[in-house]
Amino acid sequence: MNILILGSDGYLGWPTAMRFSGGGHEVTVVDNYFRRRVSAELDVEPLFPVPNLVERARRWRELTGREIKVVIGDLTDASFTRSLFDGSAKPVFGEGAWGGPPDTVVHYAEQPSAPYSMLDHKTSSFTIFNNLMATTNLVFAVRDLSPSTHIIKLGTMGEYGTPNIAIEEGWLDIEHKGRKDRFLFPRAAGSIYHTTKIMDTDLLWFAARMWGMRVTDLMQGPVYGLETDETAMDESFRPFFNYDEIFGTVVNRFVVQAVAGHPLTVYGKGGQTRGYLNLKDTLQCVCLAAGHPVGAGELKIYNQITETFSVNELAEKIRKVGVGMGFPVEIKSIENPRKEKEEHYYDPVYTGLKDMGLKPHLLTDDVMAGMFETVIKNRGNIKAHKIFRGVKW
What the chain holds in terms of domains, given with CATH numbers, is 2-232+278-305+347-359 (3.40.50.720)
Using the predicted structure, report yes or no on whether residue 368 has a pLDDT greater than 90: yes
Nearest to 264 by CA among 332, 326, 317: 332
Please state, for a pLDDT cut of 70, what percent of the chain lies above it: 100
Coil, helix or strand at residue 84:
helix
Task: To the nearest 10°, report the CA torsion of 80, 84, 87, 92.
Answer: 80
Quickly count: other Cβ atoms within 10 Å of residue 24's Cβ. 9
Read off the pLDDT of residues 239-275 as tens digits, 9 standing for 90 and up. 999 999 999 999 999 999 999 999 999 999 999 999 9
Residue 96 confidence (pLDDT): 82
What is the DSSP secondary structure assignment for residue 159, as one 8-state letter?
A: G
Catalytic residue among 193, 243, 276, 346: 193
Q: Band of the pLDDT at 95, cuts 50, 70, 90?
A: confident
Helix%, strand%, coil% for the chain, nearest 5: 40, 20, 40
- Whether 193 is catalytic: yes
Using the predicted structure, report yes or no on whether residue 376 has a pLDDT greater than 90: yes
- DSSP letter for each residue of 200-245: HHHHHHHHHHHH--EEEEEEE--EE----TTGGG-GGG------ST
Is the pTM higher than 0.85? The answer reads yes
Q: Which residues pair with 265 in a beta bridge?
A: 332
Average pLDDT over residues 44-70: 97
Residue 163 confidence (pLDDT): 98
| Phi, psi of 80, rounded to the nearest 5 degrees | -65, -45
Average pLDDT over residues 69-95: 97
Read off the pLDDT of residues 169-228 as tens digits, 9 standing for 90 and up. 999 999 999 999 999 999 999 999 999 999 999 999 999 999 999 999 999 999 999 999
Residue 117 confidence (pLDDT): 98
Catalytic residue among 153, 197, 280, 300: 197
Average pLDDT over residues 371-378: 97
Q: Band of the pLDDT at 90, cuts 50, 70, 90?
A: very high
Catalytic residue among 135, 156, 162, 282: 156
Half-sphere exposure of 57 (CA within 13 A, CB side): 24
- Whether 249 is catalytic: no
- Whether 392 is catalytic: no
Residue 97 confidence (pLDDT): 83
Half-sphere exposure of 336 (CA within 13 A, CB side): 13
Q: Band of the pLDDT at 98, cuts 50, 70, 90?
A: confident
Can you say whether the dihedral through the CA atoms of 320, 322, 327, 331 is positive or negative? negative
Q: pLDDT averaged over the chain?
A: 97
Coil, helix or strand at residue 373:
helix
How far is it, in rounded angstroms, from Cα 145 to Cα 98?
A: 15
Look at strands 223-224 and 307-310 and give their pairing.
unpaired
Using the predicted structure, report yes or no on whether residue 390 has a pLDDT greater than 90: no
